[in-house]
Amino acid sequence: GRRMRQMMQYIINHIHDEINLSDLANEMFVSTSTLSRIFKKSTGMYFADYVMRLRVRTSLVLLRTSEQNLTQIAMNCGFSTSAAFNRSFKKVTGMMPSEYRKKYQVTVESEEQETKDELEIREELKNADKALRPPLFKAGISIASAAMLKTKKTTKGSKKN
């Protein structure tokens, strides 16, 4: 319960730093063996494996969305070396970080193309609406279109975070 929350909070707060079991045990006033046992019983994995997996998960977002190089991402996610990052990443995902980035990176060009395609579709729909609807419905359509645009912008903005 309370101890696990405390451990998880510590890990999250220090994910970018070097994290070791003895520092956490000292902070919680328990022995490393007690802490290790509590952690394994609660999560089903060893402390170091959990931290490594969390770091790899953290790197996924940066690989998809940032312009940072692989070494910067490795360091920002708390890996001591690029080699450690590559080894851990491959162990967790089955591929190298560079492969993952190539496959899943969201580029500015792809986002711009999506926006362009979206605007073209909206324009076509608006033209179709004008042709099919009597003048009475035009105000309602533009209100609905504005609401759709607003929803889409909000969704798109939150996706980046």
Mean pLDDT of 79-96: 96
Mean pLDDT of 77-95: 95
Comparing C-alpha atoms, which of 64, 66, 62, 67 is closest to residue 16? 62
Task: Extract the tokens encoding 102.
Answer: 């190539």
Res. 44: pLDDT tops 50 = yes
- Among 31-40, 86-95, 102-111, the range scoring the smallest mean pLDDT is 102-111
Share of residues in the chain with pLDDT > 90 (%):
48
How far is the C-alpha of 96 from the C-alpha of 87, rounded, in Å? Answer: 8
How far is the C-alpha of 104 from the C-alpha of 77, rounded, in Å? Answer: 18
Comparing C-alpha atoms, which of 14, 54, 84 is closest to residue 23? 14
Share of residues in the chain with pLDDT > 70 (%):
68
What amino acid is encoded at 14 in this protein?
Answer: H
Q: Which residue has the higher pLDDT, 70 or 149?
A: 70
Task: Extract the tokens encoding 159.
Answer: 């996706």
Res. 139: pLDDT tops 80 = no
Per-residue pLDDT reduced to its tens digit, 46-76: 999 999 999 999 999 999 999 999 999 999 9
